[in-house]
Each structure stands twice: as C-alpha cells, then as structure tokens.
Amino acid sequence: MIKAVVGANWGDEGKGKLTDVFAKESDIVVRFQGGNNAGHTIINDYGKFALHMLPSGVFYDHVTNVIGNGVALNIPAFIKELNAIVEKGVPMPKIIVSDRAQIVMSYHVLFDKLEEERLGKAQFGSTKSGIAPFYSDKYAKIGFQISELFDEAWLDAKLDRILPAKNVLLTHLYHAEPLRKEDVFAELIAYREQISPFVHDTVKYFQTAVDEKKVILLEGQLGALRDPDFGIYPYSTSSSTLAFYGPIGAGLPQHIDEVYAVTKAYSSSVGAGPFVSEIFGEEAQALRIRGGDAGEFGATTGRPRRMGWFDVVATRYGCQVQGATHLVLTNLDVLGYLDEIPVCVAYETDGKRREHFPNITRLENSTPILEVFPGWKSDISQIRNYDELPELCKAYVDALERMLNVPISLVSNGPKREQILTRSPKL
C-alpha cells in the first residue's frame, strides 16, 4: 500500500501534521524531494517540532524513515535535527539514507546567498539553503552522490574538474574568495564520517518492502504550485513537488494507491510570486495571527506568511496536477472569527472570467472574483466528530468540495494529532 501526502497549493498546507497522523499506521515514511528549505510543524506528546530534513515518521519507533535519492541532503542539518529530537526525549529513530541521494555542499549555500544578493530587488525569495545551486549541479552532473564519498581517488579527480568553474564565478561574478580544494575535500570526508551509519541501497530495500506489502507513506514538501513544471515558474522550487515524482525520488517505482492533497481552509504563501487571492493590511494580519498553531510565520524562515482567501482556481489545479484521490482541509478552526468568509471562485484576466489556472504571465494579470459565504462564528477546535460541526461550517466544506471536485475525506480543526475529523465525501 503506497500513500502520498502532498501540498495542493504553495506549501505550508499542514502536510506535516497529516503525515504525523498517517505515520502511525505506516511502516515506512519517505522524503522524496527538496531539502531543508521548508519545514513541517508537528505537535505531539514529545513537544513541538519543526522538521526540515527528517521524515515525519521519526516520532514512532515502529516506522523506518527513508531519505530517498531525490532529496537534497544537507548532512550537518540532518545530524543537528536528529540530535535535537533525541535531546528532547524522542527515542533514536530508525533512519536510512539512499546511497544515491546527493549532498548539499557548503558552497551551494554560499552560491545561493551570493546570487540573491546579486539579484537584489529582483530576487526570488530563496531560503538560501543552497537548493537551486544544488539541483543545478545535480542535473549538470557535477553534484556528489553519497556513494561517491567512499572513493577518495574519484573525489580528488572530480574536484579538479569542478572547482575551476566554480572559482571563476566566485571571483569574477561575485567578487568572493575562491574555494580551496583541500577544504572541499575535507568537507566531503567529514560528511562521509557523519552519514555512513545511515547509508543504504534504498532501491533494494523498497523491493523487499513492496514484496512484504508494507504500508509506505510518501511525504511531499512544499506544494503543487512550487513544482518546476506545473507551478508558478520561476517562483518555484527546483525539484518536483508532485505525488507522481514521489516513487522516483523515493527509489520506489510503483503505482501510488492513494494521493492525499492537503490544503488550508484559506490561503497562505511564503516567498515571491503571483498570489491572486492575497489580502493585505489589517485584514491579512487578523487571519495571520490566528492561523496555524502560533500564527502564520514560516517554520524555516520565521518570515510572516502572505495571506489570502481560499483560492478555488489554484487549488482545483493543484489537486489535478497532484492526481489527488482525496483532499484534506486543514486549519478550518482558524476561520471561526469571521462574519463572512470570502472565497476566490474564479479569476478575471484581461477582462475575461477564467476558471482554469493560467500560465505565469496571465496569472500576473489576474484579479480574484470573490463569493462570500456566511461564517459560523464559533470555536470548533474541541469538536471530535464531523457531524457535530456547525451547519454553516459544514456548508462551507461542502461548497469547497463541490467547486474543487475532489472528495474531502478529512478535516483538521487544530494543530494537534487528535484534532482531525473524518468526513464522508459527498461526491
């Protein structure tokens, strides 16, 4: 059984919480793309955690956590996060790392920072974790796979090929210090020491797991609209955020049985790029301070998130490109303060009403067409049975499901594990 939990929007939809809930019934939880450039917030019996590099199954001792070949592995961040959860009382989790995963080097982080500085106002809002330089190098075939760390002569020869080009950019484009071969070599050897206890042939591991009919959970990072192909390129990330990339980035070439796309009951986004249903000023702040578990501020960056009303056009498209079989609506409790709840039901682009999510240049010129739904004006966070939600609240969920045309099977009414309600879809 293979399940995927992925984002239907711009990221921060609450996937971490859902993965934590699903991990309970899973044997294996896998990260298949991205690096430590985004974070999941998980609140459980051990406390509150922002996971960036570790799969969300690390809190359960029956789960094997896998970092797949598609991940941008920042080894110091991985070790630091692992130590941090163990220090907070979590038993040492079972984790294996693919020998085909590639390594985020310190110079990837440096290039990310230098490039954003060079771009100045035109920057993409990178988290400066080195992710774009990392994936550029991976596909330019000048990255380092973990398996390469174990052959020093190979590393030595490879550095002679890579470093001259890096140093031309560093000294001439960015006016920075060049890299020294001995430093980079020492960095690679240090990584080898740190990561070797975790390294596995994960392709082989998954073959056996599939034969044994294990329950496997693919854990996506960011959301559909950050995908390099289907998202809002160039305000996208550098690896595919889609469920169907999951089996590739995991090292598990199999059919996915269930794709759970996650969306909030409103919109939020970190980073640059068009955001049609965005709201500003006091209206945004009122939503921001109530959102999530402690306001809508980035789990990795601490940046205030951009806020907006639920966007049917973007979310319907997000579900389509995710191949969603189910939709999970999170943060429904947050809307309890509103008399009326606006929803972006269509876009207006160049004077025309548009139901389908447009390409980037048209998106830039789109404005929201809003429809207003009555608010339920109450705190729903203590409710444990979907049927007990206020009628107006259920009507809001029904309306979203109708417009999105994807069955909403779970609704989250608070950040904690137990705040999840099972709903019978009406589709």
With CB under 6 A as the contact rule, which of the stretches 33-41, 180-188, 316-324, 399-407 interacts with ligand GDP?
33-41
Q: How many Å apart are CA 284 and CA 233, to the nearest integer?
A: 25
Q: Minimum CB separation from ligand GDP for residue 309, in Å?
A: 17
Q: Please report how many Cα atoms fall inside a 13 Å half-sphere around the Cα of residue 24, on the Cβ side.
A: 8
Q: Among 102, 315, 331, 366, which residue interacts with ligand GDP (rule: CB under 6 A)?
A: 331
Residue 333 binding ligand GDP, by CB under 6 A:
yes
Across 111-128, b (16+ Cβ under 10 Å) vs e yields bbbbbbeeeeeeeeebbb
Q: Minimum CB separation from ligand GDP for residue 121, in Å?
A: 26
Residue 289 binding ligand GDP, by CB under 6 A:
no
Residue 44 binding ligand GDP, by CB under 6 A:
no
- Determine whether 108 is an active site residue: no
Say which of 20, 40, 99, 108 is annotated catalytic.
40
Residue 423 binding ligand GDP, by CB under 6 A:
no
Q: Among 6, 21, 31, 40, which residue interacts with ligand GDP (rule: CB under 6 A)?
A: 40
Q: How many Å apart are CA 57 and CA 63, to the nearest integer?
A: 6
Q: Among 115, 127, 412, 423, which residue interacts with ligand GDP (rule: CB under 6 A)?
A: 412
Residue 226 binding ligand GDP, by CB under 6 A:
no
Q: Find all residues with CB under 8 Å of 317, minimum gap 6, and list them.
A: 224, 225, 356, 357
Q: Minimum CB separation from ligand GDP for residue 380, in Å?
A: 10
Q: Find all residues with CB under 8 Å of 376, minimum gap 6, and list them.
A: 335, 336, 389, 390, 391, 392, 393, 396
Q: Report strand pairing: 199-200 vs 94-98.
A: parallel
238 token code pair = 């550098």
Q: Exposed/middle/buried for 289, CB within 10 Å: 0-12, 13-18, 19+?
A: middle
With CB under 6 A as the contact rule, which of the stretches 10-18, 81-89, 343-351, 354-362 interacts with ligand GDP?
10-18
With respect to ligand GDP, which residue has the nearer C-beta, 214 or 290? Answer: 290
Cβ–Cβ under 8 Å, residues 386 and 329:
no
* Orientation of helix 106-119 relative to helix 131-139, angle to 10°: 110
- Determine whether 326 is an active site residue: no
CA 60 remoteness from chain centre: 21
Residue 368 binding ligand GDP, by CB under 6 A:
no
With respect to ligand GDP, which residue has the nearer C-beta, 12 or 27? Answer: 12
Q: How many Å apart are CA 150 and CA 100, to the nearest integer?
A: 12
Q: Minimum CB separation from ligand GDP for residue 42, in Å?
A: 7
With respect to ligand GDP, which residue has the nearer C-beta, 71 or 209? Answer: 71
Q: Among 9, 10, 12, 162, which residue interacts with ligand GDP (rule: CB under 6 A)?
A: 12
Q: Among 3, 17, 128, 192, which residue interacts with ligand GDP (rule: CB under 6 A)?
A: 17
Q: How many Å apart are CA 292 and CA 87, to the nearest integer?
A: 25
Q: How many Å apart are CA 321 and CA 227, to the nearest integer?
A: 10
Q: Minimum CB separation from ligand GDP for residue 15, in Å?
A: 3
Q: Contact residues for ligand GDP (CB under 6 A)?
A: 7, 11-17, 38-41, 43, 292-293, 299, 330-331, 333-334, 412-415, 419
